[in-house]
Amino acid sequence: MTETYGDWERPPAGGPPQEEDLARRDTMRRELERVYAEAARLETALRDAPEWDIDPGRVVFTYHVLAGLVTGFVGAAAGLIYSILASLLLSLHPLLLIRVYLTLPYGERALNVTTGPMLALGVLTYLVIGALYGIPFHVVLEGVLRNAPGIWRTLIASAMGLIVWVVNYYVVLLWLQPTLTGGQPIAWLVPSWLAASTHLVFAWTMVLIEGRSRFNLPTID
């Protein structure tokens, strides 16, 4: 006698559903174990990694020193370009300002230098000194005057620029190199208005490029 099965009596093709479910769960369990093992390995590596002792205050200090140096360098370059153009309009040597400063280490013979390494060194020294001056300007503009109106930032920076001019010309130059051979004060070789306006251009350039209060950068407390 041949027995027949209805559709509900025939076993499904491909094996029982319980076996497929168990196989799928086993695969997922192995994958989860692999993820746990990888997480444990990363935790161990992170725990054994050397820790860096970073002082946030030092980071902020370094940032502001570098910012002051960069902005001061740019301001000095702007002032030097202005001095060159103004000197040419006055029929003076374009680097007369640099030659006057060079009289400090080289004496009166620096006034006869027209080109060469000495003059190039003078330009570089001028830019480096301007970069150093940029640090106190940056501290004032981004510290005390960070949220001050633009007019006050400009006025105080201009006053600081004029103070630098007085110190450079009427303190340093006249003290270290008071007169030339003919008895003329060395500072008088450059017209006073030209020397003063050169320092003002430096200060105004600092104000222009120090407008960073709109950015989310470290502040000076």
19 and 110 share a domain? no
Pair 38, 63 in one domain: no
185 has which bridge partners? 179
Residue 23 pLDDT greater than 70, yes or no = yes
**Pick from 210, 216, 206: which is nearest to 77 by CA?**
206
* Residues 27 and 126 occupy one common structural domain: no
Q: Looking at the structure, do residues 166 and 68 belong to the same domain, yes or no?
A: yes
Q: Are residues 31 and 120 in the same domain?
A: no
pLDDT in tens, 161-209: 999 999 988 888 777 766 665 666 777 788 889 999 999 999 999 999 8
Q: How many CB atoms lie within 10 A of CB 114?
A: 9
Residues 20 and 121 in one domain: no
Same domain, 191 and 91: yes
Distances from the Cα of 154 to the Cαs of 146, 150, 198, 207, in angstroms?
12, 6, 15, 6
Parent domain of 38: 15-45
Task: Tell me, yes or no, whether 69 lies in a domain.
Answer: yes
Q: Alpha-carbon Rg of the chain, whole angstroms?
A: 36
Q: Which of 210, 207, 214 is nearest to 67 (CA)?
A: 210
Task: Select the highest-mean-pLDDT range: 2-6, 63-67, 79-83, 170-174.
Answer: 79-83
Which amino acid type is present at position 75?
Answer: G
Mean pLDDT of 4-17: 52
Number of domains present in the structure of the chain:
2
Question: Is the same domain home to 103 and 148?
Answer: yes
User: Do residues 77 and 181 share a domain?
Assistant: yes
- Asked whether residue 113 falls in the same domain as residue 170, the answer is yes
Residue 83 and residue 37 share a domain: no
Q: Report which of 128, 113, 137 is spatially closest to residue 205, judged by C-alpha positions.
A: 137
Q: Is residue 87 part of a domain?
A: yes
